[in-house]
Every structure is written in C-alpha cells, then in structure tokens.
C-alpha cells in the first residue's frame, strides 16, 4: 500500500492510502488515524463504514473523530464505499447504486460480480492488510458506520462476532430488504431472489447471531429518511424477539447529517473503547 498524504492531528497522524485490491480488482483507498499511543505499541482498531456517495474522506474530515480516538488510543480506519473506475457501464449513472454505493455486499450478478466485492474487501482483505502494515491489535477490532455504512457495520458485527468485539451505528439502514435503497441495491447486486438478501439484512440476522454482541444505535428523530429508508423499529422488534441486546437512542431534533454524527461520536468511541480495551 502507498501513503499518499499525511496530516498531524491531536498528537497522532491522519494518513491516506491507496492499494491494488484483489477483492475488487481495482485501486482502493482508505484513511487511517494513528493516535499518539500507536507510536509505542499496537493499539485496537475500529473500522468506520460510510454512507451513500461518500469516500474515504467524509468521516475523517467532518466527524472530529481524531480527538476521541487520541483520548482512548484507538486506531480508526475509514475505507471508500465502493470500487472506483471499474469500467462498468452505468456505474456512475446513479447516486444510490454503483460507484459510491457498494452497500457492503459481495455482488453475484453481472456485470457487478467481478468488482463489487465490498463485504470481502472490508471484512477480510482490508483488515489483513492493516494488520500486516500498521501497529494494530488484530485481535481487538470494532466496527461502526453511518446510514448505508451503518447497515454494513451491523451486518459485519452480526455475521462475524468473533472478529468484531464491538458494534455501533448512526442512522443505519436497518432492514434493507424492506426499503427502496436496499431493494434497489440488492436487486442490482444480488438478483431478485430475496432469500439471497437475508445474509445482508441485520433485521433478519439477529435471529441466528452466534454471539449476541450488544448493538448501539443512535438515530435522529428529525432524520428525513427515518420512516422511508431506515426503519429502526423493525430491527428493534427483531432484537426483542431474539433477545438480542440493543440500545436504540432517538435524538430529538437531529437529522441525517455529520452534525448529528459529530454530536454523539464521542459516546460511540467510548463504547468501542470499553469493549476493546477491556
């Protein structure tokens, strides 16, 4: 991997990298925050998965995560949200499908299947690369995300609980099989068989979770996508039925923006720190 730029921040470093990905067959980019503690010892790592239209920069630039990560000594990794420049016809035609909208699934439908392997990328290839190249504790990983990335974080946490010891999300797409964004993505990447969609739907996965890691979710009550796309009530009902621990916090007056994320991000980083530093 190649470091393309570096910025000092809160005693540590914000680094941007690019590398050739085996999973996607394209160049992939990600950002890393290395807290000052990482100069002396390996530290736990938290992956942040961003939402529709985002790149590896949005969370890193807008959230203010560096101050919180430096306080707790956590490494933060934020990957891009999809392959770029795959050469697929129509990949940039829509803001909610294709480039910038990988939905953290492994596509099985052509022409997307060759390159759009974001589940494998974020859960296998990228952590292996980070563990080999940076001072992380590979046995202490957490995952969080926002919107489409909140969906990705919940799915990773539920499907790979041995890998991710802590899970949280802001405004996640909780039941993608039952909302327009998810139905468009799943139809396009996975085909019309809804049974194939279940493995990427947190509301479906809680019933069979092998380890019941507590889920922390913050949701803005003034979020313009709350009723049409996010549907946290469906996940809450599924968690109640499965007796899966869920803390769902509704924040009055807050919307879907990074102003919302920045307001409560410190609590999420602390949630991960408690689990990863225990």
Active site residues: 147, 223, 256
Q: Counting beta carbons within 10 angstroms of the beta carbon of residue 128, is it exposed (0 to 12), middle (13 to 18) or buried (19 or more)?
A: exposed
- Picking from 49, 50, 30, the residue whose alpha carbon sits closest to that of residue 133 is 30
Cβ neighbours around 81 below 10 Å, total: 27
Cα distance between residue 140 and residue 215, in whole Å = 17
Judge whether 108 and 15 are in contact, CB under 8 Å. no
Pairing assessment for the beta strands 164-170 and 215-220 based on DSSP bridges: parallel
Judge whether 254 and 260 are in contact, CB under 8 Å. yes
Tokens (6 digits) for 265: 């991000």
Q: Across the strands, what pairs with 9? A: 12
* Residue 201 CB contacts under 8 Å (≥ 6 apart), including other chains: 155, 175, 176, 177, 182
* Residue 232 CB contacts under 8 Å (≥ 6 apart), including other chains: 172, 174, 217, 219, 226, 248
Fill in the DSSP letter of residue 37: G
Cα distance between residue 271 and residue 276, in whole Å = 9
């Amino acid at each position: 991997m190649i470091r393309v730029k570096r910025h000092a921040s809160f005693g540590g470093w914000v680094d941007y990298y690019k590398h050739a990905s085996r999973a996607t067959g394209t160049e992939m980019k990600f950002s890393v925050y290395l807290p000052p503690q990482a100069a002396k010892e390996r530290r736990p790592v938290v992956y942040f998965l961003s939402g529709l239209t985002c790149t590896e920069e949005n969370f890193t630039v807008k959230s203010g995560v560096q101050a919180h990560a430096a306080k707790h000594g956590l490494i933060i990794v934020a990957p891009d949200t999809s392959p770029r420049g795959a050469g697929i016809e129509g990949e940039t035609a829509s803001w909610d499908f294709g480039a910038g909208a990988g939905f953290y699934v492994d596509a099985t439908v052509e022409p997307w299947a060759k390159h759009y392997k974001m589940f494998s990328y974020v859960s296998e290839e990228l952590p292996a690369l980070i563990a080999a190249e940076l001072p992380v504790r590979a046995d202490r990983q957490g995952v969080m995300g926002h919107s489409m990335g909140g969906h990705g974080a919940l799915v990773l946490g539920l499907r790979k609980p041995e890998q991710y010891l802590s899970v949280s999300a802001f405004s996640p797409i909780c039941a993608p099989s039952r909302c327009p964004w998810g139905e468009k993505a799943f139809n396009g990447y996975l085909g019309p068989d809804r049974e194939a969609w279940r493995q990427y739907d947190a509301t479906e996965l809680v019933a069979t979770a092998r380890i019941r890691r507590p889920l922390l979710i913050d949701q803005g009550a003034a979020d313009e996508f709350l009723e049409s796309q996010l549907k946290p009530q469906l996940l809450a009902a599924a968690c109640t039925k499965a007796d899966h621990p869920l803390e769902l916090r509704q924040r009055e007056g807050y919307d879907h923006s990074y102003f919302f994320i920045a307001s409560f991000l410190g609590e999420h980083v602390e949630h991960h720190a408690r689990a990863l530093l225990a």
